[in-house]
Protein backbone atom coordinates (compact mmCIF):
# COMPACT_ATOMS: atom_id res chain seq x y z
CA UNK A 1 0.00 0.00 0.00
CA UNK A 2 1.32 3.42 -0.97
CA UNK A 3 1.20 6.15 1.68
CA UNK A 4 1.40 9.89 1.18
CA UNK A 5 4.78 11.55 1.84
CA UNK A 6 4.98 13.54 5.07
CA UNK A 7 6.10 17.00 6.09
CA UNK A 8 8.05 17.49 9.31
CA UNK A 9 6.29 19.96 11.60
CA UNK A 10 8.23 22.54 13.61
CA UNK A 11 7.97 20.37 16.76
CA UNK A 12 9.34 17.23 15.09
CA UNK A 13 6.11 15.34 14.43
CA UNK A 14 5.29 14.36 10.86
CA UNK A 15 2.04 15.00 9.00
CA UNK A 16 1.01 13.41 5.66
CA UNK A 17 0.94 16.04 2.89
CA UNK A 18 -2.57 15.03 1.82
CA UNK A 19 -5.53 14.51 4.14
CA UNK A 20 -9.21 13.64 4.03
CA UNK A 21 -11.53 16.55 4.79
CA UNK A 22 -14.80 15.48 6.40
CA UNK A 23 -16.87 18.68 6.47
CA UNK A 24 -20.53 17.87 5.80
CA UNK A 25 -19.95 14.10 5.84
CA UNK A 26 -22.70 12.55 7.95
CA UNK A 27 -23.90 9.13 9.10
CA UNK A 28 -23.10 6.12 6.90
CA UNK A 29 -21.62 8.38 4.21
CA UNK A 30 -18.99 9.57 6.68
CA UNK A 31 -18.23 6.08 7.96
CA UNK A 32 -17.84 4.67 4.45
CA UNK A 33 -15.60 7.54 3.32
CA UNK A 34 -13.26 7.26 6.32
CA UNK A 35 -13.05 3.47 6.02
CA UNK A 36 -12.32 3.62 2.26
CA UNK A 37 -9.74 6.33 2.87
CA UNK A 38 -7.90 4.27 5.49
CA UNK A 39 -7.99 1.23 3.21
CA UNK A 40 -6.49 3.27 0.37
CA UNK A 41 -3.61 4.58 2.49
CA UNK A 42 -4.89 7.92 3.80
CA UNK A 43 -3.31 8.53 7.20
CA UNK A 44 -4.41 12.14 7.79
CA UNK A 45 -8.04 12.68 8.79
CA UNK A 46 -9.40 16.19 9.42
CA UNK A 47 -12.57 16.84 11.39
CA UNK A 48 -14.01 19.40 13.84
CA UNK A 49 -16.51 19.65 16.66
CA UNK A 50 -18.62 21.78 14.31
CA UNK A 51 -18.92 18.90 11.80
CA UNK A 52 -20.73 16.66 14.31
CA UNK A 53 -19.07 13.52 13.01
CA UNK A 54 -16.21 12.94 15.47
CA UNK A 55 -18.02 9.95 17.00
CA UNK A 56 -18.40 8.34 13.55
CA UNK A 57 -14.74 8.86 12.71
CA UNK A 58 -13.73 7.48 16.10
CA UNK A 59 -15.91 4.40 15.57
CA UNK A 60 -14.37 3.63 12.16
CA UNK A 61 -10.85 4.28 13.42
CA UNK A 62 -11.37 1.93 16.37
CA UNK A 63 -12.78 -0.79 14.11
CA UNK A 64 -10.05 -0.40 11.49
CA UNK A 65 -7.24 -0.53 14.04
CA UNK A 66 -8.85 -3.60 15.62
CA UNK A 67 -9.10 -5.40 12.25
CA UNK A 68 -5.65 -4.53 10.89
CA UNK A 69 -2.08 -4.06 12.04
CA UNK A 70 -2.52 -0.29 11.92
CA UNK A 71 -1.52 1.49 15.13
CA UNK A 72 -3.14 4.63 16.51
CA UNK A 73 0.11 6.59 16.12
CA UNK A 74 0.12 5.87 12.38
CA UNK A 75 -2.99 8.03 11.85
CA UNK A 76 -2.64 11.80 12.05
CA UNK A 77 -5.91 13.00 13.54
CA UNK A 78 -6.85 16.68 13.34
CA UNK A 79 -9.80 18.36 15.03
CA UNK A 80 -10.73 21.85 16.12
CA UNK A 81 -11.87 23.75 19.20
CA UNK A 82 -15.21 25.29 18.27
CA UNK A 83 -15.96 28.98 18.88
CA UNK A 84 -18.32 28.43 21.85
CA UNK A 85 -15.40 27.06 23.89
CA UNK A 86 -13.05 30.06 23.70
CA UNK A 87 -13.37 30.95 27.37
CA UNK A 88 -10.37 29.41 29.14
CA UNK A 89 -12.62 27.53 31.58
CA UNK A 90 -14.16 25.57 28.68
CA UNK A 91 -11.02 24.60 26.73
CA UNK A 92 -9.98 21.44 28.60
CA UNK A 93 -13.63 20.41 28.93
CA UNK A 94 -14.14 20.70 25.16
CA UNK A 95 -10.96 18.79 24.37
CA UNK A 96 -11.90 15.93 26.69
CA UNK A 97 -15.38 15.86 25.16
CA UNK A 98 -13.83 15.50 21.70
CA UNK A 99 -11.35 12.86 22.84
CA UNK A 100 -14.28 10.84 24.15
CA UNK A 101 -16.18 11.26 20.87
CA UNK A 102 -13.12 10.24 18.85
CA UNK A 103 -12.33 7.36 21.21
CA UNK A 104 -8.63 8.25 21.40
CA UNK A 105 -6.19 9.21 24.14
CA UNK A 106 -4.68 12.18 22.32
CA UNK A 107 -5.25 14.48 19.35
CA UNK A 108 -2.37 14.88 16.90
CA UNK A 109 -3.24 18.45 15.92
CA UNK A 110 -5.77 20.66 17.73
CA UNK A 111 -6.72 23.92 16.03
CA UNK A 112 -8.60 27.02 17.12
CA UNK A 113 -11.38 26.84 14.52
CA UNK A 114 -11.54 30.63 14.24
CA UNK A 115 -10.42 33.69 16.21
CA UNK A 116 -14.08 34.66 16.82
CA UNK A 117 -15.50 33.65 20.20
CA UNK A 118 -19.18 32.73 20.48
CA UNK A 119 -21.31 32.71 23.65
CA UNK A 120 -21.64 29.27 25.28
CA UNK A 121 -25.23 28.11 25.87
CA UNK A 122 -24.82 24.35 25.64
CA UNK A 123 -22.71 21.72 23.88
CA UNK A 124 -25.39 21.38 21.21
CA UNK A 125 -26.08 25.05 20.50
CA UNK A 126 -23.14 25.75 18.20
CA UNK A 127 -24.35 29.09 16.86
CA UNK A 128 -26.61 30.71 19.44
CA UNK A 129 -28.74 33.49 18.00
CA UNK A 130 -30.95 36.20 19.46
CA UNK A 131 -33.19 37.99 16.96
CA UNK A 132 -31.21 36.55 14.04
CA UNK A 133 -27.94 37.84 15.47
CA UNK A 134 -25.07 35.51 16.34
CA UNK A 135 -24.19 35.83 20.03
CA UNK A 136 -20.44 36.39 19.96
CA UNK A 137 -18.25 37.29 22.93
CA UNK A 138 -15.07 39.33 23.33
CA UNK A 139 -12.77 36.56 24.56
CA UNK A 140 -9.22 37.21 23.35
CA UNK A 141 -7.96 34.28 21.26
CA UNK A 142 -4.59 34.68 23.05
CA UNK A 143 -6.30 33.56 26.27
CA UNK A 144 -7.89 30.63 24.44
CA UNK A 145 -4.56 29.57 22.99
CA UNK A 146 -2.85 29.87 26.38
CA UNK A 147 -5.34 27.36 27.76
CA UNK A 148 -4.74 25.09 24.76
CA UNK A 149 -1.00 25.10 25.55
CA UNK A 150 -1.86 23.38 28.85
CA UNK A 151 -3.42 20.52 26.85
CA UNK A 152 0.00 19.78 25.35
CA UNK A 153 1.55 19.73 28.83
CA UNK A 154 -1.19 17.29 29.92
CA UNK A 155 -0.52 14.97 26.97
CA UNK A 156 -4.04 15.36 25.57
CA UNK A 157 -2.76 17.09 22.44
CA UNK A 158 0.54 16.67 20.57
CA UNK A 159 0.51 19.78 18.40
CA UNK A 160 -1.38 23.07 18.33
CA UNK A 161 -2.50 25.10 15.35
CA UNK A 162 -4.84 27.77 14.08
CA UNK A 163 -7.56 28.04 11.48
CA UNK A 164 -8.96 31.09 9.68
CA UNK A 165 -6.48 33.53 11.22
CA UNK A 166 -5.24 36.46 9.14
CA UNK A 167 -1.70 37.84 8.88
CA UNK A 168 -2.00 40.32 11.76
CA UNK A 169 -3.66 37.80 14.06
CA UNK A 170 -0.98 35.20 13.36
CA UNK A 171 1.79 37.74 14.03
CA UNK A 172 0.15 38.78 17.30
CA UNK A 173 -0.18 35.18 18.46
CA UNK A 174 3.43 34.36 17.56
CA UNK A 175 4.56 37.29 19.74
CA UNK A 176 2.55 36.03 22.72
CA UNK A 177 2.66 32.23 22.76
CA UNK A 178 4.78 29.72 24.64
CA UNK A 179 4.18 26.84 22.20
CA UNK A 180 4.52 27.81 18.57
CA UNK A 181 1.64 26.66 16.35
CA UNK A 182 2.73 23.98 13.89
CA UNK A 183 0.01 24.66 11.32
CA UNK A 184 -2.42 27.22 9.97
CA UNK A 185 -5.47 25.89 8.17
CA UNK A 186 -6.96 28.31 5.65
CA UNK A 187 -9.19 28.33 2.61
CA UNK A 188 -6.77 27.84 -0.27
CA UNK A 189 -7.47 26.91 -3.89
CA UNK A 190 -6.47 28.28 -7.32
CA UNK A 191 -8.80 31.30 -6.98
CA UNK A 192 -7.66 32.13 -3.41
CA UNK A 193 -4.00 31.37 -2.80
CA UNK A 194 -3.44 33.78 0.15
CA UNK A 195 0.26 34.23 -0.66
CA UNK A 196 1.00 36.74 2.15
CA UNK A 197 -0.21 34.22 4.75
CA UNK A 198 1.70 31.38 3.11
CA UNK A 199 4.88 33.49 3.01
CA UNK A 200 4.53 34.44 6.68
CA UNK A 201 4.01 30.80 7.62
CA UNK A 202 7.08 29.73 5.65
CA UNK A 203 9.12 32.38 7.45
CA UNK A 204 8.11 30.87 10.81
CA UNK A 205 8.17 27.21 9.73
CA UNK A 206 4.41 26.85 10.11
CA UNK A 207 2.72 24.37 7.77
CA UNK A 208 -0.22 25.69 5.76
CA UNK A 209 -3.17 23.31 5.42
CA UNK A 210 -5.50 24.07 2.51
CA UNK A 211 -9.22 23.50 3.03
CA UNK A 212 -11.71 23.58 0.14
CA UNK A 213 -8.66 22.95 -2.10
CA UNK A 214 -10.74 22.09 -5.16
CA UNK A 215 -12.78 25.28 -4.89
CA UNK A 216 -16.03 23.37 -4.74
CA UNK A 217 -17.06 22.63 -1.15
CA UNK A 218 -20.55 21.48 -2.12
CA UNK A 219 -21.13 19.08 -4.99
CA UNK A 220 -24.37 20.87 -5.82
CA UNK A 221 -22.33 23.90 -6.85
CA UNK A 222 -21.07 24.13 -10.44
CA UNK A 223 -17.37 23.62 -11.05
CA UNK A 224 -15.33 26.85 -11.02
CA UNK A 225 -14.60 28.21 -14.49
CA UNK A 226 -10.89 27.45 -14.35
CA UNK A 227 -11.63 23.72 -14.58
CA UNK A 228 -12.27 24.32 -18.27
CA UNK A 229 -9.34 26.67 -18.83
CA UNK A 230 -7.00 25.55 -21.66
CA UNK A 231 -3.95 25.96 -19.38
CA UNK A 232 -5.32 23.50 -16.82
CA UNK A 233 -6.65 21.08 -19.45
CA UNK A 234 -3.28 21.06 -21.25
CA UNK A 235 -1.50 20.13 -18.01
CA UNK A 236 -4.06 17.40 -17.31
CA UNK A 237 -3.40 15.96 -20.76
CA UNK A 238 0.40 16.26 -20.43
CA UNK A 239 0.53 14.35 -17.14
CA UNK A 240 -2.37 11.98 -17.80
CA UNK A 241 -4.27 13.35 -14.80
CA UNK A 242 -7.64 14.97 -14.14
CA UNK A 243 -7.95 18.74 -13.57
CA UNK A 244 -8.64 18.04 -9.88
CA UNK A 245 -5.41 16.06 -9.59
CA UNK A 246 -3.44 18.89 -11.20
CA UNK A 247 -4.96 21.35 -8.71
CA UNK A 248 -4.05 19.19 -5.69
CA UNK A 249 -0.51 18.75 -7.02
CA UNK A 250 -0.29 22.53 -7.54
CA UNK A 251 -1.25 23.16 -3.92
CA UNK A 252 1.33 20.66 -2.68
CA UNK A 253 4.03 22.09 -4.95
CA UNK A 254 3.46 25.63 -3.62
CA UNK A 255 4.01 24.26 -0.11
CA UNK A 256 0.54 23.57 1.32
CA UNK A 257 -1.14 20.40 2.59
CA UNK A 258 -4.55 20.01 0.88
CA UNK A 259 -7.39 18.21 2.65
CA UNK A 260 -10.02 17.57 -0.06
CA UNK A 261 -13.36 16.21 1.05
CA UNK A 262 -14.51 13.10 -0.79
CA UNK A 263 -17.33 10.67 -0.13
CA UNK A 264 -17.17 8.43 -3.19
CA UNK A 265 -14.42 5.83 -3.51
CA UNK A 266 -13.62 6.92 -7.07
CA UNK A 267 -12.82 10.44 -5.84
CA UNK A 268 -10.84 9.16 -2.86
CA UNK A 269 -8.69 7.15 -5.29
CA UNK A 270 -8.37 10.06 -7.71
CA UNK A 271 -7.32 12.55 -5.02
CA UNK A 272 -4.66 10.18 -3.66
CA UNK A 273 -3.08 9.44 -7.05
CA UNK A 274 -0.93 12.58 -7.24
CA UNK A 275 2.45 11.49 -5.93
CA UNK A 276 4.03 10.32 -9.20
CA UNK A 277 4.63 13.73 -10.78
CA UNK A 278 5.61 17.35 -10.04
CA UNK A 279 4.71 20.57 -11.81
CA UNK A 280 7.50 22.76 -13.16
CA UNK A 281 8.09 26.31 -11.83
CA UNK A 282 6.69 27.67 -15.10
CA UNK A 283 3.55 25.55 -14.75
CA UNK A 284 3.07 26.77 -11.17
CA UNK A 285 3.21 30.35 -12.46
CA UNK A 286 0.63 29.50 -15.14
CA UNK A 287 -1.79 28.12 -12.56
CA UNK A 288 -1.09 31.10 -10.33
CA UNK A 289 -2.91 33.29 -12.85
CA UNK A 290 -6.23 31.85 -11.60
CA UNK A 291 -5.72 33.58 -8.23
CA UNK A 292 -8.47 36.22 -8.08
CA UNK A 293 -8.83 36.45 -4.30
CA UNK A 294 -12.26 34.81 -4.50
CA UNK A 295 -13.25 33.61 -1.04
CA UNK A 296 -15.93 30.94 -0.65
CA UNK A 297 -16.25 30.97 3.13
CA UNK A 298 -16.84 34.32 4.83
CA UNK A 299 -18.67 33.55 8.12
CA UNK A 300 -20.56 36.80 7.59
CA UNK A 301 -22.66 36.30 10.73
CA UNK A 302 -19.54 37.31 12.67
CA UNK A 303 -18.50 40.23 10.44
CA UNK A 304 -18.95 42.82 13.22
CA UNK A 305 -16.74 40.96 15.68
CA UNK A 306 -13.44 42.62 16.65
CA UNK A 307 -11.51 39.51 15.56
CA UNK A 308 -13.37 38.85 12.33
CA UNK A 309 -10.49 37.54 10.18
CA UNK A 310 -11.72 38.29 6.65
CA UNK A 311 -12.36 41.48 4.75
CA UNK A 312 -15.11 43.53 6.38
Q: E strands, 59-206, where?
A: 76-81, 107-112, 129-130, 133-134, 157-163, 183-187
Whether residue 51 lies in the annotated active site:
yes
CA distance 82 to 282: 40
Q: From the CB of residue 205, how many other CB atoms can be counted at a distance below 10 Å?
A: 12
Residues in a beta bridge with 190: none
- Which residue in 42, 49, 51, 106 is the catalytic one? 51
Given a contact cutoff of 8 angstroms between Cβ atoms, the answer to whether 180 and 171 are in contact is no
Run of H or E residues at 66: helix 54-67
Given a contact cutoff of 8 angstroms between Cβ atoms, the answer to whether 109 and 78 are in contact is yes
Cβ neighbours of residue 302 under 8 Å, at least 6 residues apart? 114, 116, 118, 134, 136, 308
- Residues catalogued as catalytic: 51
Amino acid sequence: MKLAPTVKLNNGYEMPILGLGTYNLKKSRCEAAVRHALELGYRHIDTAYLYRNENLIGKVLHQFIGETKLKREQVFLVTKLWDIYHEPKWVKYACELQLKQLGVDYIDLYLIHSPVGVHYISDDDLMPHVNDELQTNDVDYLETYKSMEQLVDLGLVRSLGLSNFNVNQLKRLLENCQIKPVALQIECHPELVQSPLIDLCKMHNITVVAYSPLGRPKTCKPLPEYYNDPKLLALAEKYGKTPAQIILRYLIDIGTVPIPKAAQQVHLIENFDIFDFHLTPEELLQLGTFNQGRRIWKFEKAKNHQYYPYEK
